[in-house]
Amino acid sequence: MENYNYNNVWKEGIFDGKVCLITGGSGTICRQQAAALMKLGCSVSIIGRDQKQVDEVVKLLGKIGNKNAKVIGLGGCDVRSIDSMVSVAGKTVEKLGKIDYVICGAAGNFMSDFNHMSANAFKTVVDIDLLGSFNTVKACYPQLIKNKGSVIFVSATLHYYGVPFQSHVGAAKAGIDALSNALAVEFGPIGVRCNCIAPGPIGGTEGFNKLVPNKENFESKIPLQRVGRTSDIANATVFLFSDAAEWITGTVMIVDGGFWHMGNFNTYDAYPNVLRNKLLEKPKL
């Protein structure tokens, strides 16, 4: 985990007394969002399936050293189950008192061309990313109304153009953007904000390693000439939850160094020859 250097930008204590529930909080990006929020006073509830991984991240976050910010870890939770989400939302309120902020960050990803992706594999990703985001907001909704809360969905830029081997993720993330926009409009009058963060390629993540196998010269293809850091996403998170964003809802904040404007995903050595061969193999259902 990077050392989150907020001192030059953010003011200590801006989230004192706040509580954030984070699905995918045990993952690489969302743990950094948790770290930033904790540094600034927010208590966090880390949600994931693997209890061991959740425990490890809770231990790391426990070293942040802000006495105003607590951390709890709730493993064994699958975002695809509404009952599971209702249970962890309840436990979060029981242990931390309330929920003000929600980050829907849990996601599944693997590389697959259409021909090799079973209907079940496609459904799994849509269920974790899209239905899981819906379930998360659903479970936290009473708390969001009560505390005039704020939601951040973690999306992507993959659906802005056609990215090979990522049709499942692109479809799921497009759904998340649509869900966020609709909820922003529905929830605005009751004082609840909804926004998306769309990360570009974030170094050190499993997704980045899978999507960009050939890293040579990759950074030069990004307008701002470097890959993303988890702290870039943490900074966007702090801004969107803070009072500085009190009139911002229904936006997708793209945090990608300008990469998606390049207009193509020119890093795929596998395109088109490997892909063409895969698409012409015996179809998988």
In this structure, the dihedral spanned by the alpha carbons of residues 98, 104, 105 and 108, taken in order and rounded to 10 degrees, is 130
18 is catalytic: no
Residue 273: count of CB within 10 angstroms of its CB:
9
Q: How far is the CB of 277 from ligand NAP (least distance, A)?
A: 27
In the complex, the residues that contact ligand NAP under the rule CB under 6 A are 23-24, 26-30, 48-50, 53, 77-80, 105-108, 128, 154, 156, 199, 201-202, 205-208
**Residue 78 or 219 with smaller CB distance to ligand NAP:** 78
Residue 193 is inside which H or E element, if any? strand 193-199
Element (H, E) at 60: helix 51-61
Nearer to ligand NAP, 86 or 279 (CB): 86
Pick the catalytic residue from 84, 112, 150, 173: 173
Partners of 43 in the β-ladder: 19
Q: Which of 45, 155, 167, 180 is catalytic?
A: 155
**Contact (CB, 8 A) for 22 and 48:** no
173 given a catalytic annotation: yes
The least distance separating ligand NAP from the CB of residue 152, rounded to whole angstroms, comes to: 11
Any idea which residue has 């939302």 for tokens? 89
Nearest distance, CB of residue 150 and ligand NAP, angstroms: 18
Min dist CB 159 to ligand NAP, Å, is: 11
Which among 89, 31, 88, 21 has a CA at the least distance from the CA of 55? 31
Q: Please give the C-alpha separations between residue 126 and each of 54, 58, 104, 119, in angstroms, as whole numbers.
A: 23, 27, 14, 11
Task: Give the residue nearest to ligand NAP (CB).
Answer: 27
Catalytic residue numbers read: 155, 173
